[in-house]
Amino acid sequence: MEKATFAAGCFWGVEEAYYDEPGVLSTRVGYTGGTLEQPSYQQVCTDTTGHAEAVEVTFDPAVISYGQLLKIFWQIHDPTQLNRQGPDLGSQYRSAIFYHNEVQQCQAEASRDALQQSGRYQRTVMTEIVPAVTFWPAEEYHQQYHRKNGGGCGF
């Protein structure tokens, strides 16, 4: 089993894009990339902690590859927006890939570069590709929020 961590706006919708994929064993939403230990949702929403709303995906690479997870990541958001997705504004909504090893780093960078060169976007891809650091799980009511409460983000 391996882990992948992605930030692409509101973590509810990002998680929804992954949790039913074959080979994805579990997902959890949380906060990563910042300086505050054990942040709360309210603290992250102040845009002062440095954390991004993110999703940690545990997957079986024999069933779904990291490359396939990256493909989903690029499809579910606009990676050219800096510190926002749709109506959500702030660095906690930034586009970021938090890699867990050098192979993930190389694949993430290659996929970003291929997307930039594809002509799909006229603007620069702003996605951060940085090492994974401590992942702080979000409060329980955020976990699989759309599954519990209905709704969706139109993916």
DSSP 116-144: HHHTS-SSPP--EEEE----EEPPGGGTT
DSSP 62-121: TTS-HHHHHHHHHHSS-TTSSSEETTEESGGG-EEEEESSHHHHHHHHHHHHHHHHHTS-
Structural contact between residues 136 and 33, judged by C-beta atoms closer than 8 angstroms:
no
Q: Give the integer Cα–Cα distance in Å for 100 and 54.
A: 14
Residues assigned a catalytic role = 10
Q: What single-letter amino acid sits at 97?
A: I
Q: Give the integer Cα–Cα distance in Å for 78 and 137.
A: 24
Q: Give the integer Cα–Cα distance in Å for 89 and 114.
A: 27
